[in-house]
Structure 1
Amino acid sequence: MKSRTRTAPRVAAVVAALVGLLVPLLGLGTPAHAAPTGFRVQNGRLLEASGNDFVMRGVNHAHTWYRDRTSSLAHIKATGANTVRVVLASGDRWTRNDTTDVANVVSQCKRNRLICVLEVHDTTGYGDQSGATTLSRAADYWISVKSALAGQESYVIVNIGNEPYGNSNYTRWTADTKAAIQKLRGAGFNHTLMVDAPNWGQDWAFTMRDNAASVFAADPDRNTVFSVHMYGVFNTAAKVNDYLNRFVAAKLPIVVGEFGHNHSDGNPDEDAILATTQRLGLGYLGWSWSGNGSDVGYLDMVTNFDPNRLTSWGRRIFNGANGIAATSKQAAIYNGR
């Protein structure tokens, strides 16, 4: 009895060791998530696959409504931009951009040495806007066009849904955003993901700001970037500085995914947006190249898609202080190409 009592722990230890070796081999353990293969977030910064820090300097392009204007990508590149945020539609509100079209957009971005941020616009103002759809539906769209995006992790960032939630039920943003991120990761997406704020992107209730850490932690890849849209809510330098500095202090990645020099809801401080993002080394994507409706036509950067007809807003963002021409650096992956 004594002998058995003494040897039992040794036998148990050996068995435990063998099980410890066998379980991973049998796939019974919880596997570590694959490291990002392209863009990745590290210490609050967006890095390329090479490890180079990447700061977005670019504009939005309304591709889904102007599908014959792919030549605009070359014109956008000519301004010095390193990124373009491309409007797509899931088919819930506007005509769906199919897999072939998405693949062509990605190809055109790469041909013009632009990083491609792709976004689903059908989520805009969900809860306030008739026809707007959910982040879950947007995630389903991305899964349906996955074949156009697989292997493009060094060139493409997936912006899950534009301005999800208006000013109604926006507190649901946190749970819905986490669920959409996890749906895409579960479907095998290894891309850097971008998530827009609620309140029509402007986060005036600070839902995104105050829950960003938990949303970031809910991504098994820890590879999510936050995007705020700065229009009338951000009408002073103090508001711009406070909002962006809080993310930087928390080491959470933030970009200004849309902004303008004027808007129907107030007068954004574009000088402060440009200066603050430059000082903090944060990305910005102005709205928008061309094709805005008459009610916000002043947000066109060029007239009628003509790159030789810059508007006052175009001159400001491209050629003004802290603008694209002065501050943009091409993505390292394109250097030498």
Structure 2
Amino acid sequence: MRTRLSALAAGLLALFAAVFVLAPPAQAASGLYVSGGKLMDANGNPFVMRGVSHAHVWYPQQTGAFADIASLGANTVRVVLGSGDRWTKNSPSDVANVVSMCKANRLICVLEVHDTTGYGEDSAAVSLDRAVDYWIGLKSVLAGQEPYVIINIGNEPYGNQNYGNWTSDTANAIKRLRSNGFNHTLMVDGPNWGQDWSFTMRDNAASVFNADPNRNTVFSIHMYGVYDTAAEITDYLGRFRSAGLPIVVGEFGWNHSDGNPDEDTIMSYSQANGIGYLGWSWSGNGGGVEYLDMVTNFNKNQLTSWGDRIFNGANGIRQTAKLATVYTGTPPTSTPPTSTPPTTTPPTTAPPTTAPPSTPPAGSGCTAAYTLINQWPGGFQGELKVTAGNSAISGWTVTWTWSGGQQITNSWNATLSASGSTVTARNVSYNGSVGAGASTTFGFTANGTGAGAAQSVRCTAS
């Protein structure tokens, strides 16, 4: 997020065809990696970022934000850091603690240096080369964290002036990090305060990607006022998809001083095409953009309109986020935060087991089916899919009985209660309305054995 937005010249949004030539991967990454234009986690499963930015450099005392962001369903947090050139330097010990908090809350950690914001136009900003100096100083705490950490080299590294060197500077920053032993997935922001209205990043992405010896670079576009129509959004993202290049919406909002971005299209197109998105930002905005706070005063129980939209709305984080399987292939090493949704692709050795859908009584209007998503010694993760019948429903209740003394330890997307061996799950505020023939899901973790755990599953519409 830039601290000030310059007026964007009209007419610079003309669409130019880009030709991309991709070289094959030169070296396998040791953690997260790019394959076929998509980001994969360290277990080789596709990983789609669904998360938000947190301004850690300005609010270092707000360490509870990591658990709070996870509890609302995010699988990724983008952490704002300072290199000491413009904002207070986050020390190696502080960054190590940030990474540990991400891991404890089963979040992929995107670390970014903010001091580069608007370089070439803002005299206080520093170059990508200075950002690389900072990353090299963190090597000792980032080595070995490749499955959990993405390095966003520098935030919005050029403003709307003097951005002609973006391509060479970005390629050189990547090569310098690789020559210093960094094997992490790297993320690079476009110029023009991240919005790339000049299409400099778009039209030179292939050469930058091929400059990476590891072929493990993801491109990040920031979508604010430049992207206020569906056509602009789908064209920009679609060109990366067609070229087989990895793209993520690294920042976006629901409003902005330079125009009103079309967040609905950003989120729906991203979801339909497996593109990650990271909203700006959790809390603490100032300078006239306080409306971009997702929660008030860092309180997760005080969602703003923007926060409710990105977490609970259509194609929002709760509905679409899936954890990286590095956190779910084995039992978590720490207790998951309350309501964190550990939805994941199941391990190939333990395919999902789905019970037949419940047969609804006459007039009940919905069915429910139980799926075993994952299991480990002493515990498992389950999911229930609620499907409306021939008519839309405005609420639902699902009941089942345990097959052998299982006990819920965590749940998400439903309110659960238990009486003896009977469990009752009711919809929450954002997923009670289900269209005719449409579905919604909720999940849980529990102690015990997962196969066939939910018996006599019934769904009743209200």
State the TM-score, normalized to the length of structure 1. Answer: 0.90
Decide which of 82, 90, 109 is 2:75's aligned counterpart.
82
User: Match for 1:54: what amino acid?
Assistant: F
Q: Post-superposition shift, 1:49?
A: 1.5
Name the SS for the 2:301 alignment partner. Answer: coil
Q: Note the alpha carbon deviations across 1:270-325, whole angstroms, 9 max, x for none.
A: 00100110011100000000000041000000000000000000000000000000
Q: Post-superposition shift, 1:34?
A: 4.8
- Who is 2:9 aligned against? none
Structure 1 position 256 matched with structure 2 position 249: yes
Aligned positions of 1:1-337 closer than 5 A:
34-335=27-328, 336-337=331-332
Instruction: Kindly indicate whether the alpha-carbon contact (under 8 Å) linking 2:27 and 2:213 is maintained by their aligned counterparts in 1.
Output: no
Distance 1:80 1:57 in 2: 9
Q: Note the alpha carbon deviations across 1:233-261, whole angstroms, 9 max, x for none.
A: 00000000000000000000000000000
Q: Post-superposition shift, 1:129?
A: 1.2
User: Match for 1:220: what amino acid?
Assistant: P
Distance 1:300 1:329 in 2: 23
Q: Post-superposition shift, 1:174?
A: 0.1
Give 5+ residue unaligned stretches, structure 2: 1-24, 333-462
Q: Note the alpha carbon deviations across 1:97-148, whole angstroms, 9 max, x for none.
A: 0100000000000000000000000000001113100000001100001111
User: Match for 1:154: what amino acid?
Assistant: P
Instruction: Kindly indicate whether the alpha-carbon contact (under 8 Å) linking 2:113 and 2:131 is maintained by their aligned counterparts in 1.
Output: yes
Distance 1:243 1:146 in 2: 34
User: Match for 2:60: what amino acid?
Assistant: R
Instruction: Kindly indicate whether the alpha-carbon contact (under 8 Å) linking 2:121 and 2:162 is maintained by their aligned counterparts in 1.
Output: no
User: Match for 2:178: what amino acid?
Assistant: R
Distance 2:26 2:240 in 1: 25
Distance 2:27 2:75 in 1: 27
Distance 1:320 1:132 in 2: 36
Distance 1:180 1:70 in 2: 30
Distance 2:121 2:43 in 1: 42
- Who is 1:26 aligned against? none
Distance 2:317 2:122 in 1: 33
User: Match for 1:197: what amino acid?
Assistant: G
Runs of 4+ residues over 4 Å off in structure 1: none
| Equivalenced residues, count | 306
Distance 1:317 1:34 in 2: 36
User: Match for 1:126: what amino acid?
Assistant: Y
Distance 1:34 1:150 in 2: 17
Q: Which has the higher helix share?
A: 1
State the TM-score, normalized to the length of structure 2. Answer: 0.66
- Who is 1:3 aligned against? none
Distance 2:72 2:287 in 1: 24
Distance 1:162 1:39 in 2: 20
Give 5+ residue unaligned stretches, structure 1: 1-31
Distance 1:49 1:324 in 2: 22
Identity across matched positions, percent: 69
Instruction: Kindly indicate whether the alpha-carbon contact (under 8 Å) linking 2:202 and 2:240 is maintained by their aligned counterparts in 1.
Output: yes
User: Match for 1:115: what amino acid?
Assistant: I
RMSD over aligned Cα atoms: 0.9
Instruction: Kindly indicate whether the alpha-carbon contact (under 8 Å) linking 2:83 and 2:90 is maintained by their aligned counterparts in 1.
Output: yes
Name the SS for the 1:63 alignment partner. Answer: coil
